[in-house]
């Protein structure tokens, strides 16, 4: 098969569409003929050499895909060749075929075409596992999402609505601001023009927010702790603003707050917080809302997978809104 390979680490230009060996189908796994994958920040870090795949995972980038099952491994029940699906992957999505444990597979939602379904697994699983399973986001809570127009941000806005939380976001432009408000955000703070700490203070009458979903790490650590409400939870899933920052434990203790560093890719398949448990929870709680149209993947654009380099440039420029998909050429 063909796949995107990394002959060396570096800029987008190192992404190379090349012939590689087919994946094998282990016990409990299926092989998917990939229709599309999608670009995640982790792919960019992996391309730069900063984020090696976890042990046992494919060296090919790509943390999610949609497609059609073309092979079924030993002991698999409930899935058959020909089923249209999407899946959460530990890697290997930028390829014509990929193998995956069935506990990480979703049925294609009826109202989405197969390519669009590739925009769902990573954002729904990231948002649900971190905001609901980890941080306990619940009805009546207030939530701040940094990067509200990203793939994760646009899904966090929708899932906050699903659970009955009020969501505020930060954005970097007026266009993104308008989009997030339209999607359901209660307020969108342009971080280039306003202090998010001051704005959150005003929006919450000085109380702060119950939960924060952060992708900036060190750059926002102090501000995020300041913006937390009593018993608030700061969930850090990215470190685009640096990995080491000063934590004021006095401020954290005074509000009984918590700081969580989490992620999805490194989780084991099994276990109560493993990928299988996350996918099962998303199928139970989020998939019905996708089927009903209440939640949808926000797609910025779809490019042929052979143009993965261009797709990475788009995501690195941060001019996109939602997901950038990569469709396998047929």
CA-nearest of 46, 50, 100 to 72 is 100
Which of 13, 178, 194, 248 is in the footprint of a copy of itself by CB under 8 A?
248
User: Which residues lie below 8 Å from residue 320, measured CB to CB, with a gap of 6+?
Assistant: 149, 300, 301, 314
Rounded least distance, CB 305 to a copy of itself, Å:
28
Which lies closer to a copy of itself via its Cβ, residue 18 or residue 254?
254
| Residue 320 to residues 94, 259, 260, Cα–Cα distance (Å) | 20, 29, 27
Among 9, 254, 284, 292, binds a copy of itself (CB under 8 A): 254
CA distances, 90 to each of 54, 93, 122, 267 (Å): 8, 9, 10, 9
* Of the candidate residues 13, 198, 231, 270, the single one contacting a copy of itself (CB under 8 A): 231
CB of residue 210 vs a copy of itself: minimum separation in angstroms?
Answer: 12
Q: By CB under 8 A, tell whether 164 contacts a copy of itself.
A: no
Asked whether the beta carbons of 68 and 84 are under 8 A apart, the reply is yes
Residue numbers 263-322 binding a copy of itself by CB under 8 A: 263, 266-267, 273
User: With CB under 8 A as the contact rule, which of the stretches 9-17, 173-181, 246-254, 319-327 interacts with a copy of itself?
Assistant: 246-254
217: contact with a copy of itself by CB under 8 A: yes
Instruction: Closer to a copy of itself by CB, 104 or 129: give it.
Output: 129
Within 8 A by CB and 6+ apart from 299, the residues are: 116, 119, 322, 323, 325
Q: Which of 49, 174, 175, 247 binds a copy of itself (CB under 8 A)?
A: 247
């Amino acid at each position: 098969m063909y796949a995107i390979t990394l002959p060396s680490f570096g800029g987008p230009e190192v992404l190379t569409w090349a012939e590689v060996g087919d994946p094998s189908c282990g016990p409990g796994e299926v092989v998917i003929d990939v229709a599309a994958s999608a670009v995640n920040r982790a792919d960019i870090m992996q391309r730069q050499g900063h984020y090696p795949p976890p042990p046992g995972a494919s060296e090919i980038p790509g943390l999610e895909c949609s497609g059609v099952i073309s092979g079924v491994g030993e002991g698999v029940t409930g899935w058959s060749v020909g089923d249209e699906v999407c899946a959460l992957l530990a890697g290997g999505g930028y390829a014509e075929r990929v193998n995956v444990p069935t506990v990480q597979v979703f049925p294609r939602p009826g109202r989405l075409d197969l390519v669009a379904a590739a925009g769902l697994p990573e954002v729904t699983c990231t948002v649900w596992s971190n905001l609901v399973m980890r941080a306990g986001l619940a009805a009546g809570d207030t939530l701040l999402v940094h990067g509200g127009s990203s793939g994760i941000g646009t899904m966090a806005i929708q899932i906050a609505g699903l659970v009955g939380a009020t969501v505020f976001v930060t954005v970097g432009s007026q266009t993104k601001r308008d989009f997030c408000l339209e999607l359901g955000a209660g307020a969108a703070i342009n971080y280039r023009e306003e202090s998010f700490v001051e704005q959150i203070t005003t929006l919450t009458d000085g109380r702060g927010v119950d939960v924060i979903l952060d992708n900036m790490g060190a750059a926002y650590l102090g501000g995020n702790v300041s913006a937390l409400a009593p018993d608030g939870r700061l969930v850090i899933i990215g470190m685009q603003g640096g990995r080491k920052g000063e934590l004021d434990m006095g401020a954290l203790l005074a509000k009984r707050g918590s700081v969580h560093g989490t992620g999805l890719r490194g989780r084991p398949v099994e276990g109560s917080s493993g990928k299988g448990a996350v996918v099962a929870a998303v199928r139970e709680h989020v998939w019905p809302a996708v089927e009903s149209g209440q939640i949808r993947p926000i797609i910025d654009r779809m490019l042929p997978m052979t143009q993965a380099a261009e797709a990475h440039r788009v995501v690195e420029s941060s001019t996109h809104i939602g997901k950038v998909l990569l469709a396998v050429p047929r």
